[in-house]
């Protein structure tokens, strides 16, 4: 038994569970890049980035469109070695991000925009984990 798990057991807290992964590919995506949430598959950003690099991603840029105390808007551009360009936008608010991310919610808008651009480039219908509330 790991130290953290033992401490949590002694404190009466349940050990955190790792998110289950899909047992087989979903839309041709390696299961290590799929996270199951409430029985539905979602792709993780690290997987999108990995797959895009394998598909010839040459440049990935993101910038803020607007940031206020209540909402951040961002856009992203994914450029591939063969000249294909994909652009997307996304938002984040303190209310649609996790508690740990809340103080940094503008950065989540950047990540969400990049994830959407990469999903478009890769032709994926799955939503990314990072795009969830």
Cβ neighbours of 18 (radius 10 Å) = 7
Residues 76-128 pLDDT 10s: 999 999 999 999 999 999 999 999 999 999 999 999 999 999 999 999 988 99
Residue with tokens 């940031």: 67
pLDDT of residue 49: 97
Better-scored residue on pLDDT, 63 or 19: 63
pLDDT of residue 26: 78
Question: Which residues are CB-contacts of 48 (< 8 A; sequence separation ≥ 6)?
Answer: 33, 115, 118, 119, 122, 124, 128
Cβ neighbours of 58 (radius 10 Å) = 14
Average pLDDT over all residues of the chain? 87
What is this structure's pTM? 0.79
């Amino acid at each position: 038994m790991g130290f953290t798990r033992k401490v949590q057991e002694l404190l009466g807290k349940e050990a955190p569970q790792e998110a289950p992964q899909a047992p087989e590919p979903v839309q041709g995506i390696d299961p290590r890049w799929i996270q199951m949430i409430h029985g539905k598959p979602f792709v993780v950003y690290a997987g999108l980035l990995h797959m895009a690099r394998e598909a010839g991603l040459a440049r990935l840029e993101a910038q803020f469109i607007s940031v206020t105390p209540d909402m951040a808007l961002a856009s992203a551009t994914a450029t591939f070695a063969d000249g294909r360009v994909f652009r997307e936008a996304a938002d984040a608010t303190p209310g649609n991000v996790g508690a740990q991310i809340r103080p940094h919610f503008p950065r989540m808008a950047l990540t969400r925009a990049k994830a959407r651009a990469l999903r478009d480039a890769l032709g994926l219908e799955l939503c990314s984990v990072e795009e969830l509330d």
